[in-house]
Structure 1
Amino acid sequence: MEVRPKTGSSCIFLILLLLQAGMIACNRTSKNEKAASDTLSANQVVTDTLSVQTSKIEEEDSRPPAKLLLEITPQEYLDILVKYDLSPLFLNADYKPQSAVYNGFYGTDHYRIEMYFASVTKDQKNPTLYHITGKSRYKKNITPFKGEVIVDTAMQFSNSNISPENTNVKGVYKTTGTFILREDSTLAGSGVFNGTVSIEFTLLTDSNTEFWYLNEIEEEEGADLVFDGEWVNYKTGKSKSVIWAKDIYSIGDSILEDFTIGERDVMINPKYRKLGWDSYWENAEWWNDSPHAKL
């Protein structure tokens, strides 16, 4: 006798199978849709972030540069040097006596050295040439010198942050050149300083010049005037590095680690007192005390 399944039971069983398959499919679809939604949201975040970053970069790129040096022709520079005298910049004539001394670093240990310019005169025939006399002090040794500075190249700042109301400023320039300062060869341990010099200054409508303080030159770090070179002993030929500047604070940290400390009241780090900086605030006019006053 043949036994046949009941038709009703088979239908119910088939319907249950179909419903289960449908639920699984729906669940997979829901998960896929959620994953796709999450991916879309993540991509949108990245896109929005990149958009903001790109917008920020474009905004920064659209800003005018803080400084931009433009070349000027040799004739333009010569015209400036003929009309203007840069010697007051070298002399620090408008400052207190102790400010007439330039401080710097000498040798591999970067011991303090002081340079005093007693006179700076512009050559009557060559407007790029300046004659200098003065003295150096290293530890307790005071030695007179004389020499020359040649300022042979210049560039102009196209954006120098000059206020429109400041009509007294005609332009801001950076000039570079070379120097050689010869110590008295009859004195023991004497030699010659030589190297490069750079100055950042303004031309004024009254035919005067002054240092420019509102820009920061990358090379000089805002020091306004920097002499960078070496000292060579006359007899032995041995050399030592030397650098001095109008504003020693602005270059000190690039020479010695943490040379300056403090934020509002900046001072020289006490750990460098042993390198000659313990007498930095003394006002003794050592250049007038030397027995070798003149060459």
Structure 2
Amino acid sequence: MYQPFVLLVIGLLATVSAPDSEPRTTTAPKPVAAAKKPATKAAARPAAVSAAAARTQRFLQRVNLAPLLRFNPASGTAGVMNGFYSYDYWRLEVVLTAVQRDAKNPGLYHVRGKSRRHRKVTPLSGTIRFTEVALLPRPSASDLPYQPWQPATVSGSFTLQETGGRRGTFSGDIDVDVAPDPERKVRVWCCAADNETRGGGILFEGQWRLGAERVPVIWKDDIFSLARNILTDFEIGSRDVEINRKYSRRGWDTYWENEEWWAERPVARR
């Protein structure tokens, strides 16, 4: 698992100054070995492991996450996932315009989409692979009347290759809180607290890499719940929430504008 975004950047904030126009690139230091999980007293029995894997497989077969991950153009900018890129908190926007579950592997999704950072739009394509399911506390009947199955956090990994621009790669971990819905079969569950998704919803966290260059990235379906976990001064105002002007040069000045940057531009014909 990748270290939380805030831990990757906090040590560098004292020396980083916000760029005025072009972003700063960084060269990654030598890789640091990932922290090992503490050893358990006894290894899990094969039968228990097999039973857990079978439950996960049944859940992934039953619940199709494609509608939750796929961007709906009718939702406009409200459906765009926003987050942070690099050590200077540049705005990162992501839409997954095509999401298809694999016919043979219910945990594998083939995706295409677009990202926008540094005010440039870049096509993406790749995969999302879900491998773990953790049940969430069962809500009350008043909060979730329809409960044929228990809400859960579905976790896995993603790899998204840029097919334009500098052609880097986004990769890392994904966590999605889901709950049953009587009409759509599945919905994003927004009511989980203090878990992998940092307040419910959909969370992508990892890095962008190109050669030796590595920068942290993180994005979510709800930028404000994410920002509250990372920056104490990102939003200002008590009634009408506004984004702090200190981040305007990093792409956040257009957050409230209804700009359909993901739309295909018509090709002029002679």
Shorter-chain TM-score range: 0.7 to 0.9
Contact in 2 for aligned 1:106/1:243 (Cα 8 Å): yes
Does residue 201 (structure 1) correspond to residue 170 (structure 2)? The answer is no
The AA in structure 1 aligned to 2:219 is: W
| Aligned residues of 1:169 and 1:205 also touching (Cα < 8 A) | no
**Partners in 2 of 1:229 and 1:165 — Cα distance?**
32
Distance 1:80 1:251 in 2: 27
Q: What TM-score, normalized to structure 1?
A: 0.67
Of 151, 154, 157 in structure 2, the residue corresponding to residue 172 of structure 1 is 151
Tell me the distance in 1 between the aligned counterparts of 2:62 and 2:122: 34
Structure 2 unaligned regions, length at least 5: 1-48
Correspondence for 2:260: 285
Of 89, 97, 119, 2:68 maps to 89
Which residue among 84, 90, 94 is the counterpart of 1:105? 84
Residue equivalent to 2:223: 248
C-alpha deviation, 1:90, in angstroms = 0.7
List per-residue Cα deviations over 1:237-267 (Å, max 9, x = no partner).
3111100000000011222232122344333
1:151–1:176 CA contact under 8 A, matched in 2: yes
Structure 1 distance, partners of 2:259, 2:197, is 28
Give 1:208 deviation, angstroms.
Answer: 1.1
Q: How does 1:46-195 map to 2 (within 5 A)?
A: 73-93=52-72, 96-163=75-142, 166-168=145-147, 170-184=149-163, 187-195=164-172
Aligned length: 218
Query: What residue ranges of structure 1 are gaps of 5+ in the alignment?
Result: 1-70
Whole-Å separation in 1 of the counterparts to 2:239 and 2:186:
29
Q: Per the alignment, do residues 290 and 245 of structure 1 end up closer, same or farther by CA in structure 2, a change over 3 Å counting?
A: farther
Task: Specify whether residues 114 and 94 from structure 1 end up closer, same or farther in structure 2 by C-alpha distance, changes over 3 A only.
Answer: closer
Q: Secondary structure at the match of 1:240?
A: strand
Larger radius of gyration between Structure 1 and Structure 2: 1
TM-score, L = length of structure 2: 0.73
Q: How big is the shift at 1:84?
A: 2.0
- Give SS of 2:91's match: strand
The amino acid of 2:123's aligned partner reads P
Give the partner amino acid of 2:245. P
Paired residues of 2:178 and 2:186 also in contact (CA < 8 A): yes
What RMSD, in angstroms, separates the aligned Cα atoms of the two structures? 2.5
Quick one: distance in 2 between partners of 1:291 and 1:113? Answer: 25
Do 2:198 and 2:229's aligned partners in 1 also have CA atoms closer than 8 Å?
A: no
**2:191 matched residue in structure 1:** 214
Tell me which amino acid in the other structure corresponds to 2:233: D
Residue pair 2:133, 2:153 contacting (<8 A) in 1 also: yes
Q: Report the alpha carbon displacement of residue 268 of structure 1 after superposing the two structures with TM.
A: 1.9
- Identity among equivalent pairs (%): 33
SS at match of 1:75: helix
For 1:116, the aligned partner's letter is V
Q: Give, in whole Å, the separation in 2 of the partners of 1:124 and 1:217.
A: 34
Larger relative contact order, structure 1 or 2 (CA cutoff 8 Å, min sep 6): 2
Q: How far apart in 1 are the matches of 2:162 and 2:266?
A: 14
Q: Match for 1:193: what amino acid?
A: F
CA–CA distance in 2 between the matches of 1:264 and 1:89? 30
